[in-house]
Amino acid sequence: MSGFGPEVEVGIARLRAEIATLHAELTRYGLVVWTGGNISGRVDGAELFVIKPSGLGYDELAPENMVLCDLDGVVVQGTPGAGRIPSSDTAAHAYVYRNLPEVGGIVHTHSPYAVAWAARGESIPCVTTAIAAEFGGEVPVGPFAVIGDDSIGRGIVDTLAGHRSPAVLMQNHGPFTIGPDARSAVRSAVLLEDAARAAHLARQLGEPRLIPSAAVDSRYERDRRDRRDRALRP
């Protein structure tokens, strides 16, 4: 590659393979169509991230055509995939990584129910215990922003500041999810579409009942304790 230390080189190779493989989860759960949507992951120990190239079919994705970028969204030349154009959301991903150092993975999808809520400019209400557990309350809406620069990234960061939700619905655009790693962000993207569908169907039957805030807090904290306990098991 191009002058990184051996640990970073190994981390980049691992991440390329992981990001390429994880994109199959987006098609598996019907969260994208054609070449839309993208996943990125931060490289441990370096100011770099790996992201899907633009315009490449999901069945064509492979580790060697993932694109390596710095945290300004600039493609690292001389690396595999550098000849490809990175996702049109690259500037947004870069902005999130620069401003939220705890984020290790970002996912953007065009999942239909979540996009429908985004098109309405309406947050997804916390009407199921599954929403409470994963998102800690309603899923917020971010502002309308143009594609291609860091405006979407700014909207993501500003909307999620101080918010427990790992997901945001960018108005008239669609959902973005974040996580400590790319797999966690994919999990949230899958659960977000399920939440959006359940809330939509509930509204067709009448006005859904919101979960009381104390119960939301209790369910969210229990879910986090369960995750910590699983992580500590040998």
234 residues of the chain, pLDDT tens digit each: 467 999 999 999 999 999 999 999 999 999 999 999 999 999 999 999 999 999 999 999 999 999 999 999 999 999 999 999 999 999 999 999 999 999 999 999 999 999 999 999 999 999 999 999 999 999 999 999 999 899 999 999 999 998 999 999 999 999 999 999 999 999 999 999 999 999 999 999 999 999 999 999 999 999 999 999 988 887
Question: Which pTM does this prediction carry?
Answer: 0.97
Indicate if the alpha-carbon torsion angle 223, 232, 186, 89 is positive or negative: positive
Write the CB contacts of 233 (distance below 8 Å, at least 6 apart in sequence). Answer: none
Buried b (16+ CB within 10 A) or exposed e, 23-45: bebbeebebbeebebbbbbbbee
Tokens 């980049």 map to which residue? 12
Closest alpha carbon to 142 in 194, 96, 90:
96
Q: What pLDDT does 92 receive?
A: 98
Give the CA radius of gyration of the chain. Answer: 18
Q: What is the dihedral of CA 184, 186, 191, 196, to 10 degrees?
A: 130
Q: Residue 1's pLDDT is what?
A: 44
Predicted local distance difference test score (pLDDT) of residue 2: 63
Cα–Cα distance measured from residue 56 to residue 92, given in angstroms and rounded to the nearest whole number: 19
